[in-house]
Structures are given as C-alpha cells and as structure tokens.
Chains A and B, each alone.
Chain A
Amino acid sequence: MTSLTLQSRAQSAPSRAAAPLLAVDNVGLRFGGIVALDGISFEQHEGQILGLIGPNGAGKTTLFNCLSRLYTPDRGDIRFTGKTILSQPAHKIAGIGISRTFQNLALFQHMNVFDNIRVGFHSTTKSNYLSDALNLGGVRRQDEEIEYVAWTLIDYLGLRADSKRIVTDLPVGTRKRVELARALAANPRLLLLDEPAGGLNHHEVEHLGELIQQIRADRNVTVLLVEHHMSLVMSISDKVVALDFGRKIAEGTPAEVQNDPDVIRAYLGTDRK
C-alpha cells in the first residue's frame, strides 16, 4: 500500500523548464477510412490545466482512449514522466498515475456510490483471491483504510446523502461527481476529464470550474480537460489545444486560441458537411 492518502503526490514544485509530464508526439490513428487522429503533438507540464477543444468528431475522445490505452495509436508515441506508455496494457495506466472520466458516464450501474468509488482504489491497493476469501488481517486493515479515504472523497464531492444509492437512480450531475470521485480515488497525477460539463445545468457548470481548480490546488493534480463549454475551458485553462478532423489546428493561451481564425472557422463550421 503506497499512496492511499489524500495528500497530494509530489509536493515539490516543478519548474516549467523541466520535462513535460505528458508528451503526445505525432500520434495518429485511423478506423478504416476515417482518420480519427492525424499526427497530434503537444506537451503538458505538471500542474497545468490543459483544455482540449474541437467540434464533435474532432478526435478528442479517441485521443483520451489512446492515453488510457484502450486504443493503440498507429503511429507516434505518448510519454508520461518521460517514459512511453504504449508498452503498458490498459489496466496498468491507473497505477502509473493517469485516471479518467468518460464522456458518456461509465459507472458500475448495479453498484452504489460508495462501492463505485471504492473500485477506484483498485490500482493503489493490493490483495488476492485467497487473502480476500479468507479475510486475512492485512486485507481487513486495508479495507478500513479504503473506506476511510472513500468517505473523505464522498464528503469532498458532496456525495454523502447519496452514498448508499445505486448510481443509476441518480441525476447526471451527481453521477458525474461520482465518476470524478472514483477517478480521484486512484490518487492520479494526471486527470483526464472528458466533457465533465456535459448534461449539467448552468449552476452546476459554474460550480464545476471552481471544483476543477480546487482539485488541482488541493491534490496537486494536472488536468487534461475535454470540453465543449467554451467559457468554462477558457476561464480555467492555462493552455488550450484545438483539434479538428483529427488534426491540431491551434495551440496557445485561451485568448490566442479563442481568436485563432482556424478555430473560429472550425466552430462556425463553414466548410463542414
């Protein structure tokens, strides 16, 4: 048991000149005739909130799926803390410090909120079939610790009233917070959020921006944020990368990207079918 703690991981402030936490290097992936990703490259430094924007079908989710190793790129490399992740299977990604949420909610639908979050601790804890079936001492202690931290996360995300409810009974906004808590349970260094504002009401979206910044501050997490909600992305991102048809069309500060002619064209959809 290594990092079962709410304290953030590395407290040492990284200097901007240091190697990037995440390096996406010329990543390409096609599905049959569709070029979903066409040589994407960008870097993200520790502590940054990076907004990834682009119209529907631009390839944002596909890139996330490459980062969590659900997909394997046809070309290019993805490096996390300087090491390639392409040699790792998908189930090792949480353990090396990359957690994610899903655009279309991927909760464990027959389980309650508490259990969903407890699954999030899988990558940072240890046990096996035998120790769990026989309920050996170490397992019990570890489970108590998991419970304790899970409750802290439940409080952190205001889920206490719903903690014992089956997740499918909950409104979308609450379910999104459950997914966030589950992702945080693994104590990630890099948090991938795929359209966290999708399906939220106006009030919830406003709150979400603060929450993401709060999480970064409290837990020293680097956030890669896919979002359609422009005002949200532009208000909290340190850097923005824009994709269109699998290609990177702009990269820079929120102000730069917002005023980029290619980005404006992509969003106005002048040349889209």
Chain B
Amino acid sequence: MKTDTPTAMLDAQDNASSNAGMWRLLIALGLLAFLIGLPLLSKNFFVFQLTLAMVYAIAILGLNLLTGFNGQFSLGHGAFYAIGAYTAAILMDQGGISYIWTIPAAGMICFVAGFLFGLPALRLEGTYLALATFALAVAMPQILKFSPLEHWTGGVQGIVILKPDAPFGLPISQDQWLYYFTLVTLILMFAFAYNLVGSRTGRAMKAIRDNPTAAKAMGINLSLFKSLTFGVSALYVGVAGALSAIVVQFVAPDSFTFALSVILFVGLVVGGVGWIPGAFFGALFILFVPHFAEGISKGLAGAVYGIMLILLIFIMPSGAAGLLKLLLDRFAIVRRLIEGLSGRKR
C-alpha cells in the first residue's frame, strides 16, 4: 500500500503550491498597486464610493465567515454594523478618542455582543436562527432612538462627526486619506480571514457546516466554535460599521434598518457564499447597482434592481465565485486544447 515516502509527496505538493503561490503573489501585488494608485487619479466622490465599497466588503466578509464557512444564517448583521458605527461615533463625539482607536474598540464590543447573542441562538436551527437575528435587526433602530439613551446616541438626530485629516502633513485630501486608512484595515481583515479559513479553526468551522455530528465525533466543540464564529463575524461587521461612521461622518437610527441586513445578505449571495474574494464583488454590487438602477428609471429603480438581482441569480447561481470558476474551467479547457494541438505538431 505504501508507495513513496510521504516526504516525496510533500515535496511535490510544495512545488505545485509554491508555483500557484507565486502567481497569487503577483496578482495580489498588481491589485495592490492598482488600489494604491486609483484614488490619486479619481474624483473625490468616486474615492468616497470606493471607500464605502471596501467597508461593505469587510462586512460581507464577516457575514461570509458565519454563513459560508460555518453554515449559520443571519438576517440581522445590520444590527452589529449599527453597534460598530455608534461605538465609533460616541467614542469620537463624547470621548474625544481618535478615530483610529474606535475601530478596534467597535470590533471588540461587537465581538462580545455577537458572542453573547450567538450563545443562546446556538440552540436554534437554520431558519429559526435567521428569525432570531431578524428580530435583532428590526429592534435596532428603535433601541437607537430610545430616549433614555438619547444622551449618547443623539436620538432620532443621530451624531455628526468630523472627517479626520491626513496625518504627517501628507498632501492628500481627507477622502483619499480615509480611502488608504480603509484599505489598510481591509487588507488586515482579509489576511486574518484567509489565515483563519485555512487553519485548524477554519477546518473545524467548515466541518460543523458540513456535518455537525461528524464534527462532534472529531472532537470539535460545536457550541464553542459556533458562538465564537458568531462573535468574530460580528467583529468584522462592527469594524465595517465603525469605518462607515467615520467615512460618512454621520450616524442615525434610520441608516440601520432591517434593509441594511438584507443588503449585506444580498452582497454575500451575489459575491459567492464560502468564497472570500466574493466579498468584493458583493460590495460593488450593493453599492453601484442601486445607482445604476436609478439611472435607468427613477420611478422604478426598485423594480429594476429586483429584476437585475433575479437575472444575476439565474446567470450565476453560485454568485461571482461560480462565474469565475466557470470562466477558469473554460480557460483551462482552451489551454489544454492548445497544448494538445501544439504537442501533436511536435
């Protein structure tokens, strides 16, 4: 049964993966150069929109960790986005704390909130968990308007915050600076997610998603991993919420209705459930497609948006992830054909 030594196998493995790793590094570097250069050549409003897209991408990534990698559903992550945004706004407005520190603070608070919410919610299966999270999302705007909290939350009016200037006298606009600040946060959050998904913890998360009984038999503590994943997912969304407050310079209860939770969910599905880069595609969709729909028809923007969404789901049932895989497969077939033909000539 034993053929080669496992070491030989590992070497072959390493060669193949280091080649793929090279490509991935090159693509990443190219993308990074593009992302760094982009705001220098764009109008401020477009830079602002791109920044928001990155913020959404972080939130969708957080939702993906929960749904795509752990199999738990949430229709209430807008609530954690709100908690993150208000944490940042209140800390800056009342605490006079630098915007930089509000990001980790919002992340931590949302982690704890998500963990605590996830703990009892664990007992709920699929659709019921979605319902419980739905309740959270519906309650959130009202909690934010609640008069005893008005002193901190600013009630219906919300809180206005000031846009930070670029530090060290950098000769860039506030929007450009926030773009770079968000980009760095985004890269860190994606790096952590990549590490996580490929790790022992990530495998445990996916095992729970695929077969909870077998996962238990492998020694995985289901309630621990599920509630921690809920917390980490809320942390991501909370960081996104905090960034959004800083970028938009404003928080108000009506920015965080149930619709926000649904929009994040749409972004997740459009990008591709269980595929990390899908968050970018999902974010671009939820940011730009509504504008596009409005451009087609002001009165029927909602209907146009709906039709586009339905079409998209028909064209690519597994989101951008599925479409990309399809294209790559096609490409692989073409390449093999070419290789086969040229091979025969020789």
Partner-B contacts on A (CB < 8 A):
68, 70, 89-95, 99-100, 102, 106-111, 115, 118-123, 125, 127-129, 132-135, 139, 142-143, 146-148, 151-152, 154-158, 160, 182, 186
Residue of B nearest to A158 (CB): B1
Any A CB within 8 A of the CB of B214: yes
Partner of B214, one of A108, A121, A139, A154: A108
The 9 closest A-B CB pairs, nearest first, are: A123-B219, A132-B199, A94-B219, A108-B210, A106-B214, A132-B201, A151-B6, A135-B195, A133-B192
CB contacts under 8 Å to A, within B1-49, are 1-4, 6-7, 9-10, 13
Tally A-B pairs: CB < 8 A: 125
Q: Render B205-221 as a binary contact track against A, CB cut-off 8 A, 1 for contact.
A: 01101110111111111
Contact (Cβ within 8 A) A129 B215? no
Partner of B217, one of A94, A110, A118, A135: A94
* Closest beta carbon of chain A to B13's beta carbon, Å: 8
Contact (Cβ within 8 A) A111 B210? yes
* Closest beta carbon of chain A to B197's beta carbon, Å: 9
Any A CB within 8 A of the CB of B85: no
Contact (Cβ within 8 A) A110 B209? yes
Which residues on B sit within 8 Å (CB–CB) of A89? 221
Contact (Cβ within 8 A) B9 A70? no
- Complex CA gap A108/B7 in Å reads 26
- Complex CA gap A182/B2 in Å reads 17
- Complex CA gap A111/B197 in Å reads 12
Contact (Cβ within 8 A) A91 B220? yes
Contact (Cβ within 8 A) B213 A91? no
Contact (Cβ within 8 A) A110 B200? no
| Chain B contact residue count (CB 8 A cutoff) | 37
Any A CB within 8 A of the CB of B202: yes
Which residues on A sit within 8 Å (CB–CB) of B57? none
Residue of B nearest to A147 (CB): B10
In the complex where A148-B10, A151-B6 touch, is A107 in contact with B218 (Cβ < 8 A)?
no
Which residue, B204, B216, B218, has most C-beta atoms of chain A within 10 A? B218
Which residues on A sit within 8 Å (CB–CB) of B195? 132-135
In the complex where A110-B210, A151-B10 touch, is A156 in contact with B2 (Cβ < 8 A)?
yes
Contact (Cβ within 8 A) B196 A106? no
Any A CB within 8 A of the CB of B222: yes
Which residues on B sit within 8 Å (CB–CB) of A152? 6
Which residues on B sit within 8 Å (CB–CB) of A156? 1-2
In the complex where A70-B217, A147-B10, A151-B6 touch, is A91 in contact with B200 (Cβ < 8 A)?
no
Contact (Cβ within 8 A) A70 B219? no
Residue of B nearest to A115 (CB): B203
In the complex where A102-B214, A132-B201 touch, is A122 in contact with B219 (Cβ < 8 A)?
yes
Contact (Cβ within 8 A) B1 A115? no
Residue of A nearest to B229 (CB): A129
Residue of A nearest to B195 (CB): A135
Any A CB within 8 A of the CB of B279: no
Contact (Cβ within 8 A) B3 A155? yes
- Complex CA gap A154/B5 in Å reads 11
Which residue, A115, A129, A156, A157, has most C-beta atoms of chain B within 10 A? A129
* Closest beta carbon of chain A to B218's beta carbon, Å: 5
- Complex CA gap A129/B222 in Å reads 14
Residue of B nearest to A179 (CB): B214
* Closest beta carbon of chain A to B122's beta carbon, Å: 14
Any A CB within 8 A of the CB of B60: no
Which residues on A sit within 8 Å (CB–CB) of B201? 127-129, 132-133
Q: Render B135-168 as a binary contact track against A, CB cut-off 8 A, 1 for contact.
A: 0000000000000000000000000000000000
Any A CB within 8 A of the CB of B228: yes
CB contacts under 8 Å to A, within B238-252, are none
* Closest beta carbon of chain B to A47's beta carbon, Å: 22
- Complex CA gap A157/B2 in Å reads 8
Partner of A127, one of B1, B199, B209, B214: B199
Any A CB within 8 A of the CB of B274: yes
Contact (Cβ within 8 A) B210 A143? no
Any A CB within 8 A of the CB of B232: yes
Partner of B199, one of A94, A95, A135, A155: A135
In the complex where A91-B216, A91-B220 touch, is A122 in contact with B206 (Cβ < 8 A)?
no
Which residues on A sit within 8 Å (CB–CB) of B221? 89, 91
Which residues on B sit within 8 Å (CB–CB) of A119? 203-204, 207, 215, 218, 220
- Complex CA gap A160/B202 in Å reads 23
- Complex CA gap A143/B228 in Å reads 21
Partner of A94, one of B204, B218, B228: B218
